[in-house]
Amino acid sequence: MKKELHPAKHVGGTISVPGDKSIAHRAALFSLVAKGPVTVKNFPGNADCQRSLEAVQKFGVRIEKSGNTIALTPPESFTFSSDDETIVDCGNSGTTARLLAGIAAGMPITVTLTGDESLQSRPMKRIIAPLSEMGAEITHNDFHLPLTIRGRKLLPFEYHLPVASAQVKSALLLAGLASSCSVTIREDKTTRDHTEIMIGTLGEGIEQRIIKPVAVVDPNDPRKKKMEMPEPFKKEVTLSSRAVIHGGEVDIPGDISTAAFFLAAAAISGGTVTVQHLGVNPTRTAFLDYLKSVGATVAIKDKQVISGEPRATVSVTGGKRKPRRIAGETTVGLIDEIPIVAVIAAFTPGTTIIRDASELRVKESDRLTAIAENLKRMGIKCGLLEDGLAIEGGNELPGADFISFGDHRIAMAFSIASLFLVGPSTIDDDSVVGISCPEFYTLLDSITK
């Protein structure tokens, strides 16, 4: 539904955001490989995570809800025959599709995974190729959904991730758990480690090795030393063939990717927004580092670790902004937040360059194109690059009629932009925010006047 948006006279306040989407997906899907019940606290009510709950329910997991606490009880045994086919509609959720593909590959079942038009356009070769190497039989639509997976006992596997992807890493680790086979994953760029943490919290049998540079003699000048990586990768994750998920409790912190929109509003306005119980896993805090780098003040207090995941109270206060170039590993850490980073850039004097973001072309929309189109609608000069954007910031920008492109993060990012435009704006479909945060506009109203 089209929604009218209005400028804000003031931005500030304290909020709590729904539970982290990435952790919630994993908590639900882990019930398929757990020996005992899994209790999940602060499970978010968004459409994507509901797809993961519906998926495990199809395989016999009993679900009991009490508020935002969910008890997941796996059946005593999975009695499927490989001849019995189960069809799972993953909707718009790429995490559900990719992680469930890993679990299905290691179980003696046949599963067809499908999804909406957007999800069917997203690349699946990145999981199809390694799972097939492990021994799974996968039929696909030119490496897109729908996928039909005929699971079986898989082979021990070592894999060097060609693309930085926590979803691929997690799919392979879950395949190993489902099939009781060892898996070793090596990463050039460190990705989200929620799966590794959850295996350690609910079970055992996983080890992580972080590779750090060491000082060696410079062959060009023996009087000097230089730093070199002793291995051709930054991180190695090893799952034992005896790894097991016993069950237990997962208490989900607030989603930092959702909080990013409200913290950005503070950074642009000069006001202060505080988010309580916010997940601050180091693989997810690149956005906080970015806010500091462009001139905002970021305060983190009351830090604690629950269910293996750090959380804290985070406050952001806006200041005089300056542009920053974003590329390489910084882009990897900010990949979900690039839409709102682009909005901050639009209100920052100077030119912001974003590179190495080609992954955004195969998200819920082509996010690079969607960002560029909406920035131009509000009068910003924006160059669309093959793997990024060049954004020239401005001020006294007019209201605009924004297009969501069916993408929740695009809708939320430009709803934030509308707060600082001169005159009213619109977004063509406000309902898409329900994919990740149905409460978005209620929370936004609570920090604006």
Buried b / exposed e across 355-373, counting CB within 10 Å, b at 16+? Answer: bbbebbeebbbbbbebbbb
Integer Cα distance of 148 and 171 in angstroms: 15
CA distance linking residue 326 with residue 303, whole number of Å? 28
Instruction: Decide if 133 contacts 185 (C-beta within 8 A).
Output: no
What φ, ψ does residue 206 adopt, rounded to 5°?
-130, 140
Residue 336 appears among annotated catalytic residues: yes
For the packed helices 194-202 and 21-30, what is the interaxial angle rounded to 10 degrees?
40
List Cα–Cα distances, 329 to 1, 189, 205, in angstroms.
37, 6, 29
**324/288 Cα distance (integer angstroms):** 14
* Residue 215 amino acid letter: A
Residue among 241, 239, 233 nearest 160 (CA):
233
- Tell me whether residue 449 is exposed, middle or buried, using C-beta atoms within 10 angstroms of its C-beta: 0 to 12, 13 to 18, 19 or more: exposed
Q: Which of 89, 336, 407, 430 is catalytic?
A: 336
CB 198 within 8 A of CB 173: no
State phi, psi for 362 to the nearest 5 degrees. -125, 35
Catalytic positions, please? Answer: 336
